[in-house]
Structure 1
Amino acid sequence: MRTVVVTGSASGIGRATRDLLRSRGDRVIGVDVHDADVVADLSTTDGRARLVERVRELGDGRLDAVVANAGLAHESPATVAVDFFGAVATLDGLRDLLTGSTAPRAAATASMAVLLGADDELVERCLAGDEPAALERAEHLVTSGRGGMLYPSAKKALCRWVRRHAATPEWAGAGIPLNAIAPGIVRTPMVADLIATPEQRDAMAQAVPMPLNGYMDPEVPARLLAWLVDEENSHLCGQVVFVDGGSDVVLRGDTTC
């Protein structure tokens, strides 16, 4: 039986991933701000420290996999705090517990929104690890009417972090595949208000074209996450896998890098 940590486990993709892994016989330690094995607010340093401490206790000092899935899509600096700094703290903070596994794995949830434009300055502040400066930039974007850039910027920074770290001695060198997924529009509470009316759905279809089967249920990206942290995934390294109904193809054509 494998022991897997899933953040954002109380709803959406996180809950679907938690339920799928448990149905397969894995032990899942769920993390969220409510209704979870570990209740922690990943927008704060205290919450991130609590996550690591409680997971270390519940996992008896060893884990097989980590899914850094928790995220927000609010026009608030908290989105950057959770989506980038919370995800990185989860992966970095729990990495040493993975080294005791015979098949350690790690994955993060990004978004196809990385294709829709980002604030380069915010991305660079995130990657520099300067959270106060990143949150200051996020607040500036909100007050200047560009709060919609926070989510894609945080997710773009997360993708770049994964790419920069996956092949390092701490990850690949320790036998830990580190990857990310980039979902399209998923029917979750986080996006419910964005696709509630026909007009909103038409606008979303223009921004996020999904010619293959349209919007997806959270079980779809959950199945991809489950494979990424399964023993079968031995060689995927630093990849951002788009599970988006074709958005990447429509928006970027034959560009693969």
Structure 2
Amino acid sequence: MTRTSVVTGSASGIGKATKELLESRGERVIGVDLHGADVTADLTTEQGRAAMVDGVRELSGGAVDAVYAVAGLSQPAPATVAVNYFGAVATLEGLRPLLLTSAAPRAVVVSSMAALHPVDEPLVAALRAGDEIAALSRAEVMAKEPESLGRLIYSSSKRAISQWVRRQAPTALWAGAAIPLNAIGPGIIATAMTADLISTEEKKAALLEMVPMPLNGVAEAEAVAHLLAWLGGVHNTHLCGQVIYIDGGSDAVIRGDSIW
């Protein structure tokens, strides 16, 4: 039977690569994005998130097999918090009921190896509490210093969504409903989001000093798509609450033995 999957952020980057890969395997994919998608929705707002759920429900007939929460921003701005954390959580929670009729339901969210970088603890705490007003307010303050505090908005949003996955995956709502919920943490991926950062060899070398990727350097979006497709596929029966770093070795370099 053909699987039906939902991919947010499907118009570009990792989301587009994932959509194209799944479709090449014969899956039906419902893409969600601000434009150029089956469902047009702005995940920075509650209204947009509700519209996303309604649109997917209508197009899918109320049943999907996999949800890939890929949409994300990297700007030093409150919108990054709104999409990367609250948009992702709304996607996963809002579409979870549509997974319940699937014989092999799966859910995956894209975090980042930036979750291993320094974060703003007040922002992470607000995200952990699910307090969007407080989180956006804190991000507004941070955004006023884009080269210092503002740079922590992205890593903080990714740290928080990784923690959300770890907390939620083993619960009755997910594992108890036979839905593997996991995340991936990409390193530097060649997408529009990183194009300027890797536009010259000098810039790329400087970025790789901060984000070491000893295995093959900067990755293409297709490499990440293949990992996502496996996590959202029928063969993934027992991964639960994992954040898998597809980062060319950044996690191993940065954290080493400290995780044990």
The TM-score range, normalised by the shorter chain, is: over 0.9
**Alpha-carbon distance in structure 1 between the residues aligned to 2:118 and 2:22:** 33
**Alpha-carbon distance in structure 1 between the residues aligned to 2:177 and 2:19:** 25
**Are residue 198 (structure 1) and residue 201 (structure 2) matched?**
yes
| Corresponding letter in the other structure for 1:32 | D
- The equivalences for 1:171-250 within 5 A come to 171-250=174-253
| Corresponding letter in the other structure for 2:204 | R
| Corresponding letter in the other structure for 1:156 | R
Aligned to 2:96: 95
**Deviation per residue, 1:44-79 (Å, 9 max, x gap):** 111100000010001101110100000000111000
**Deviation for aligned residue 1:143:** 1.2
Aligned to 2:10: 9
**Are residue 118 (structure 1) and residue 135 (structure 2) matched?**
no
**Alpha-carbon distance in structure 1 between the residues aligned to 2:171 and 2:31:** 27
**Alpha-carbon distance in structure 2 between the residues aligned to 1:249 and 1:222:** 21
SS in 2 for 1:254: helix
| Corresponding letter in the other structure for 1:93 | G
Q: TM-score, normalising length from structure 2?
A: 0.97
**Alpha-carbon distance in structure 2 between the residues aligned to 1:254 and 1:128:** 30
**Deviation for aligned residue 1:116:** 1.3
Identity of aligned residues (%): 59
**Deviation for aligned residue 1:256:** 2.9
**Deviation for aligned residue 1:106:** 0.1
**Contiguous gaps of at least 5 residues in structure 2:** none
**Deviation per residue, 1:198-249 (Å, 9 max, x gap):** 3321221110000000000000110000000000000000000000000001
**Alpha-carbon distance in structure 2 between the residues aligned to 1:202 and 1:21:** 33
Aligned to 1:31: 32
SS in 2 for 1:5: strand
**Alpha-carbon distance in structure 1 between the residues aligned to 2:138 and 2:106:** 33
**Deviation for aligned residue 1:195:** 1.5
**Alpha-carbon distance in structure 2 between the residues aligned to 1:255 and 1:18:** 36
Aligned to 1:81: 82
**Alpha-carbon distance in structure 2 between the residues aligned to 1:115 and 1:160:** 12
SS in 2 for 1:28: strand
**Are residue 157 (structure 1) and residue 167 (structure 2) matched?**
no
Please, which moves more after superposition, 143-152 or 91-100?
143-152
**Deviation per residue, 1:149-187 (Å, 9 max, x gap):** 111100000000000000000000000000000000000
Aligned residues: 257
| Corresponding letter in the other structure for 1:231 | V
**Contiguous gaps of at least 5 residues in structure 1:** none
**Alpha-carbon distance in structure 1 between the residues aligned to 2:191 and 2:107:** 23
**Alpha-carbon distance in structure 1 between the residues aligned to 2:121 and 2:101:** 37
